[in-house]
Structure 1
Amino acid sequence: EKNMFSYQKVHELNRLELIVYKYIIGHTREVQDMTIREMANAAHVSTTTILRFLKKMDYSGFSEFKFALKQSLKQPSKAQQDPSMEPIKNFFQLVADEEPFDNKIEQAAI
């Protein structure tokens, strides 16, 4: 089973796409039942930003992504059980919880 999002590709996201990524990681269960408009409103981004993010993550669209998300929630992925993934998971949990991280990204982008 493949990971939902490639670590390498996450590093190539722009600020708005990173907001989408962090929203999905922080609200996985809710996202599986949302429309793209509901998710855009909740994450405070446009539907276009969501679609651009999904394209970068190799999903053809929102429907394909939601199907993959539901499948990944049904069965625990190997990555979730792989101890070598813990540092990466911890990092993304930290940045999902840490508001100033967005400010640091903005400063770095200037």
Structure 2
Amino acid sequence: MSPLSIILVLLISLVYGVIFLILSLLNYKLFEKFSIIFQFLITLLFSFDFGMIYLLIIYKINYGCFHIYYLIPIILGFYIAYKFKNSAVNFCKYFKNKRKKY
């Protein structure tokens, strides 16, 4: 496996973590009014499908050679997006409240 393909997979994993957070929050918002069992089944199906899509992408890049250190950028991307989401929401609330004063 070439160093370029390793860097490519790590960057894709980082972006995939960000996309996973965004779609997970959207999934939660869409199905929060349904029953707990339905929410669980939809979340389970969503996570399974998202994992399969990730494995297909990895298969296309380096023929399915999956290493455990590919999970670190996914978790890191998820964490960075979560922290950025909170600060972005707070900034929007601050800007909205400041705008109401004028």
* TM-score, scaled to structure 1: 0.27
Between structure 1 and structure 2, the one with the greater Rg is: 2
Specify which structure has the higher proportion of helix.
2
Comparing both chains, which one has the higher relative contact order based on Cα–Cα distances under 8 Å and sequence gaps of 6 or more? 2
* TM-score, scaled to structure 2: 0.28
